[in-house]
Amino acid sequence: MRFVPHFTDGQAFPQPLGKIVCIGRNYADHAKELDNPVPTEPLLFIKPATSAVDLSQPLNPPFSRGEVHYEIELALLVGETLTDASQDEAERAIVGIGLAMDLTLRDVQTQLKEKGHPWEIAKAFDGACPLSPFLPLERVPNWNALAFTLDINGEERQRGEGADMLFPVPTLVSEMSRHFTLEPGDVILTGTPVGVGELPRGASLRMTLTGGLEVTGTVVD
């Protein structure tokens, strides 16, 4: 059954989840921590709708395939069709903001990168994109004022701020629409800040976002 995005008041979005369009290395410190160059243009990739799961439910990634790394990110819910959109059009088309985890099979990704192969099987597997409910956009006064956190077993592991993005939300969504038509129900992941690492089995998770969103979850043991 397709994942249906929903808001914090329990209201479901009228369409099921579409594709999940992501950006890599949108925070300079994160690029540096993985010894990657800081990009001068957005590095885009896609996760399918089948990768989405409820962030509040126990996460069960494929640990048998090597290290699974967590990457907490701001998630944007698209409410209008966008093709080659201006930054103003892109900003107006966002109807909700939430949190997502871009789970990554890091050992698999490293092997693929060494061979010059695509990353999909390390980034797009079933369960690779846990999603939270979405805050209505009116709860978000300013993109640059956004802050979000990830705690694992009571310890803060990641903290990000919208002001630190290399490609801010309007710029990023506009650029994405130049390459992929964005449709209602699509979700955009905006990149992860510094602090990524291995997701521990049996961990307890707590995630927060400016505007009053707090999500807790667990990882299977």
| CATH number of the domain enclosing 197 | 3.90.850.10
The structure tokens listed for 121 are 């099987």
What integer pLDDT is reported at residue 28 of this predicted model?
A: 78
Residue 7 forms part of a structural domain = no
**Domain count for the chain:** 1
Structural domain including 130 reads 20-218
Residue 97 forms part of a structural domain = yes
Hey, is 35 helix, strand or coil?
coil
What integer pLDDT is reported at residue 30 of this predicted model?
A: 66
Q: Is 55 left (phi over 0), alpha (psi -120 to 50) or beta?
A: alpha
Residue 115 forms part of a structural domain = yes
Low pLDDT (below 50) residues in the chain = none
Whether this prediction's pTM lies above 0.85 is answered by yes
89-110 burial, b at 16+ Cβ within 10 Å, e below that, comes to: bbbebbbbbbbbbbbbbbebbe
Residue 1 forms part of a structural domain = no
What integer pLDDT is reported at residue 33 of this predicted model?
A: 67
